[in-house]
Amino acid sequence: MEILFWAGPALLLCASLLLLAPGSNRNAPIIILLMTLVTTGFGVLLGLWQAGIGAIWAALCLAVLGLCKSRGWQLAPVARYCLVLGTLSCAALAGYVNWSAPIRSLPHPDGSFQVGVVDFVIEDESRPGLQGAPHSSPRKLLVRAYYPADSDVTANVEPYMTAQEAEAVASGETALGEPGVLNKHLQHIPTHTYRRVSAASGRFPVVIRSNGFSSHVASSTILHTHLASHGYVVFSLTHPGDMSAVVYPDGSVHPIAKETLASMSKRHHQKKRVGEQLPPPIEEHFFDTLWRDTEQFNWVRLAPEGMHRSHATWMADIGFLADQLFANQLPADAMKLLPDLALQDLAFAGTSFGGTASVAACHRDSRCRAAINIDGANFDPELVNATVRMPALSLQQDFSRIPQFAEARMHGIRNPRDTVYEKNQDAGLTGLVERVEIKGMRHQSFSDSTWFARGATARGITATGALSPERTVALTTQLVTAFLDEQIKRDGGAFAKAVEALPEAEQYSLEALREWALARPD
């Protein structure tokens, strides 16, 4: 696949050199361009959208040369040089696109275990007809489990997603108004997981993980693989109807729901309003403005009705999977493969919308010992100016890079999530909540998207921030693993050591928020 990936730029370069040599065989450039068209066209059919650049230019060149040959025309020197220049430019552009959206293996996890993976489905008959499912259909949840595997693995590595998954995810992204075709090549990305292999011996702590709104089951494979290599069993839970697409093992597909598309459209419209700069506060403390205009900084009041409905559904999904684990009611074929689960050491974690649902669900479920919210806004009114019952990590993007929050930072609030998970008057003092902002990170940096984009692709299409893919992966995986090691494996001081070792990770003071809260008459 790597050869096919780079064949287009290489053949275009050869064609330009042959076109430049006037004494060469007149048919040679045509033959090379035909080879270019065939290989790049085949690549496009296989989901390599990057090959489309070479295919289009080769087709145009063949049309021009074919017309000249059929009419017996000779290319004028100026026309020949223009064709050469265009072909060279196209070869350079195709090469840059291949570099900026590469096909490369996911980073190798640095834990001591190989990683197995198995998919299974659980059904909640008490909640039928949710999120676009037929009225009588039970809630059908796809779960992908990543687990520590036996060291003697001989199976082939798993691709990032199957061809059917790539097609379904691309369709879902297109429905959301995104360039879905840019996901199709992910079916050719090798991971470091092995499907349905024997588990390692021992008992391992459990993490129930939820990805972001409109994401897919594989979108945090790097983090999940890393955690499994360090001795965690990670259950990546889907939330059908709110994800770009869910492809079940039997081949059936649950597409993104119409209600979700409507909610996303409304949320996009309202986020535009939030993007406007707040006027400076007049004759009042900045935090009074913040508290009065909560919708400017907190999605609790701003979120469309559909987002609140989804939040409740996601919490119930997380709880249902926990119920099935504690009742030992997973499908038999999955249970045969999974290692022994140390369910007394259970954490809920998620990214973006999955992060806020995970903390909210853990707060209400005494079986959950710790929770992680990776750059998720808050959709739970009960967690505003309220202290969670368990340790929680709030891992956040660099809000200094977002202009509309510059005013807030001038007055001591770092980002819109400072007023959740602890009472305002005790913010930063409870010992329960770790708040870390990572300099240079953007929202998409916390997903696998950061690994699939470099250069202009990273800056423009995926908006993954200023840090390199390698650095963003290291920051996310190390901080999440260290927090879980401290809270779940009881490795005291692990998180503080990780933060100290990562200069981009910043824990900051909430003194300004506390002072304001204590000064309020109510």
Task: Answer whether residue 130 is part of any domain.
Answer: no
Residues 334 and 395 in one domain: yes
Residue 226 has pLDDT above 60, yes or no: yes
In terms of residue numbers, what domain contains 19?
Answer: 1-100
Residues 67 and 120 in one domain: no
Residues 60 and 151 in one domain: no
Residue 356 has pLDDT above 60, yes or no: yes
Q: For residues 476 and 440, what is the distance between their CA atoms, to the nearest angstrom?
A: 13
Answer left, alpha or beta for residue 177, where phi above 0 means left and psi between -120 and 50 means alpha. left
Residues 225 and 86 in one domain: no
Q: For residues 148 and 379, what is the distance between their CA atoms, to the nearest angstrom?
A: 34
Bigger pLDDT: 186 or 454?
186
Residues 45 and 118 in one domain: no
Residues 118 and 5 in one domain: no
Residues 335 and 222 in one domain: yes
What percent of the chain stands above pLDDT 90?
A: 48
> What does the DSSP assignment read for 350-397?
EETHHHHHHHHHHHH-TT--EEEEES-----GGGBT---SS-EEEEE-
Q: Average pLDDT of 52-64? A: 87
Assign 3-state DSSP to the chain and report helix, strand, coil percentages, each to 5. 50, 15, 35
> Model confidence over 372-408: pLDDT tens digits?
999 998 888 889 889 999 999 999 998 877 766 666 6
Q: For residues 443 and 377, what is the distance between their CA atoms, to the nearest angstrom?
A: 11
> Model confidence over 478-499: pLDDT tens digits?
999 999 999 999 999 999 999 9
> Model confidence over 413-459: pLDDT tens digits?
677 688 899 998 999 999 999 999 999 888 888 999 889 877 766 66
Task: Answer whether residue 347 is part of any domain.
Answer: yes
Residue 57 has pLDDT above 80, yes or no: yes
Task: Answer whether residue 108 is part of any domain.
Answer: no
Residues 389 and 297 in one domain: yes
**What band does 1 get if pLDDT is binned at 50, 70 and 90?**
low
Per the structure block, which two tokens stand in for 214? Answer: 């409109």
**Ranges 1-10, 174-183, 238-247: which has the least confidence:** 1-10
Q: What is the pLDDT of residue 46?
A: 84
| Cα dihedral across residues 473, 479, 480, 481: positive or negative | positive
Residue type at 264? M
Q: What is the pLDDT of residue 270?
A: 46
Residue 225 has pLDDT above 60, yes or no: yes
Residue 412 has pLDDT above 90, yes or no: no
Task: Answer whether residue 509 is part of any domain.
Answer: yes
Task: Answer whether residue 312 is part of any domain.
Answer: yes
Residues 477 and 442 in one domain: yes
Please report, for the domain that includes residue 257, its CATH number: 3.40.50.1820
In residues, how long is the chain?
522
Q: What is the pLDDT of residue 26?
A: 65
Task: Answer whether residue 106 is part of any domain.
Answer: no
Residues 21 and 119 in one domain: no
**Burial class (CB within 10 angstroms; exposed 0-12, middle 13-18, buried 19+) of 265:** middle
**Burial class (CB within 10 angstroms; exposed 0-12, middle 13-18, buried 19+) of 489:** middle
Residue 278 has pLDDT above 50, yes or no: no
Residues 1 and 80 in one domain: yes
The count of other CB atoms within 10 Å of the CB of residue 439 is 17
Task: Answer whether residue 491 is part of any domain.
Answer: yes
SS3 341: strand
Count Cα neighbours of 455 within 13 Å in the Cβ-side half-sphere.
Answer: 10
Q: Are 191 and 225 in contact (CB under 8 A)?
A: yes
Q: What is the pLDDT of residue 274?
A: 39
Q: Average pLDDT of 273-287? A: 42
Q: What is the pLDDT of residue 281?
A: 39
**Burial class (CB within 10 angstroms; exposed 0-12, middle 13-18, buried 19+) of 384:** middle
Q: Mean pLDDT in the chain?
A: 85
**First and final CA of the chain: distance in angstroms?**
65
In this structure, which long-range contacts are made by residues 397-403, counting pairs with CB atoms below 8 Å and at least 24 apart in sequence? 397/437, 397/438, 397/441, 397/442, 397/443, 397/445, 397/446, 397/465, 398/437, 398/438, 398/439, 398/440, 398/441, 398/442, 398/465, 399/437, 400/439, 401/440, 401/442, 401/465, 401/466, 403/277
- The total number of structural domains that make up the chain: 2
> Model confidence over 284-314: pLDDT tens digits?
455 565 555 444 444 555 555 667 788 999 9
Residues 319 and 184 in one domain: yes
Task: Answer whether residue 281 is part of any domain.
Answer: yes
